[in-house]
Amino acid sequence: MKNIRIDYYTGTGGTELSARLLANKLRSSDYHVEENRIYRDKISGIQKLETDYYILFFPVHSFNAPKPIYEWVKHLEGNQCKTAVISVSGGGDVLSNSACRCKTVKFLKKSNFNVIYQQMIQMPNNWMKAPDQKRCTAILSHLPSKIDQISQAVISEKREKPTIYWIDYLISALGEAEKRGTKKFGCGIKVLHCCTGCGLCTRNCCSSNIQLEPQTSTDAHPKPKFGNRCDMCLGCIYNCPQKALTPTWGAFQIDKKGYNLGILKKDIPF
Ligand SMILES: Cc1cc2nc3c(=O)[nH]c(=O)nc-3n(C[C@H](O)[C@H](O)[C@H](O)COP(=O)(O)O)c2cc1C
Ligand code: SF4
Ligand code: SF4
């Protein structure tokens, strides 16, 4: 095995950090690794993948993958390569999360990928209430050993299928229904006057849902405009350097203290 392709979707950076650490670990074992961040506007037509091993990372949203993951997988055509699906979540391997990869695995199989391995990584939770700094440091300190474990599994082409209980399928289905509210959340994000029009939110929206609108006579800066394809990753709200974005619907889902992975991981030498 020589070539590995890693695709990841990320909102606030936890999944990206995990994917990057794994890519670097595999490179240090002489694999050629291609990393690719998933953006919704890159999804068009069918993309054929020629790789020896494919790895798909996503954050868990409402006990499932975010919607763009399903669209992404449907637009790929694999070559029966061995495949790993890695989910990243605030709760980790708790029971309610255990069916979160099922739908993605089903679509991957349909797209000609041979899924042989699945794993969950725990990262600090970004939804509603983030853990305090001490707890985040404790969670993040386990990450290097988890990445070692996954890297070994990929290198040895380990086969591992998780046990899923019927109740988790039910929770996962309820979570899919809950995700319908994400569109409403995105349409309700308000831009405050302190926005400088820097465009960071536009560039980073993995769902390609934000456009910068040109200046008007009343606004000195271009302003972000939100479309109706928000997947509620919370990236734009937490990462805005001016704290200029505020939800008008579903605001309880944001931690008022903010969430900055750069600060949360400051004590860990990655
Ligand atoms: C809308 C939303 C729903 C979430 N649902 C779950 C969940 O069902 N289970 C869980 O353990 N974590 C859940 N989380 C937490 C994220 O999975 C976790 O913080 C993850 O590390 C975020 O990855 P990212 O930083 O790459 O976006 C949710 C986060 C968001 C924004
Ligand atoms: S909302 Fe924040 S990130 Fe987006 S353009 Fe304005 S200042 Fe920049
Ligand atoms: S609009 Fe904001 S919350 Fe919605 S998907 Fe884009 S970055 Fe995430």
Asked whether the predicted pLDDT for residue 171 surpasses 80, the reply is: yes
| Domain formed by 180-264, architecture | 2-Layer Sandwich (3.30)
Backbone phi, psi, residue 187, to 5°: -65, -25
Distance CA 105, CA 20 (A): 22
Task: Give CATH superfamily name and number for 3-178.
Answer: Flavodoxin domain (3.40.50.360)
Distance CA 159, CA 156 (A): 9
Mind listing the pLDDT tens digit for each residue in 210-262? 999 987 777 788 999 999 999 999 999 999 999 999 999 999 999 999 999 99
Ligand 1 center to residue 191 CA distance, Å?
Answer: 24
Contact 245 CB / ligand 2 (< 6 Å): yes
Mind listing the pLDDT tens digit for each residue in 26-70? 999 999 999 999 999 999 999 999 999 999 999 999 999 999 999
Mind listing the pLDDT tens digit for each residue in 197-213? 999 999 999 999 999 99
Mind listing the pLDDT tens digit for each residue in 64-94? 999 999 999 999 999 999 999 999 999 999 8
From 40, 182, 191, 234, the mutation candidate for ligand 3 (largest count of ligand atoms within 8 A of CB) is: 234
Site of tokens 């605030």: 90
Ligand nearest to the CA of 237: 3
What's the pLDDT band for 270 if we cut at 50, 70, 90? confident
Give the CB-side neighbour count of residue 211, counting CA atoms within 13 A.
8
Ligand 3 center to residue 1 CA distance, Å?
Answer: 37
* pLDDT at site 61: 97
* pLDDT at site 168: 85
Ligand 1 center to residue 29 CA distance, Å?
Answer: 30
Ligand 1 center to residue 148 CA distance, Å?
Answer: 22
Mind listing the pLDDT tens digit for each residue in 88-142? 999 999 888 999 999 999 999 999 999 999 999 999 999 999 999 999 999 999 9
From 204, 205, 253, the mutation candidate for ligand 3 (largest count of ligand atoms within 8 A of CB) is: 205
Beta bridge partners of 89: 122
* pLDDT at site 1: 65
- Short-list 93, 133, 87, 91, CA closest to 259: 133
Domain boundaries, the chain: 3-178, 180-264
Distance CA 5, CA 20 (A): 12
Locate the ligand 1 atom nearest the alpha carbon of residue 261 and give its number.
25
Ligand 1 center to residue 1 CA distance, Å?
Answer: 32
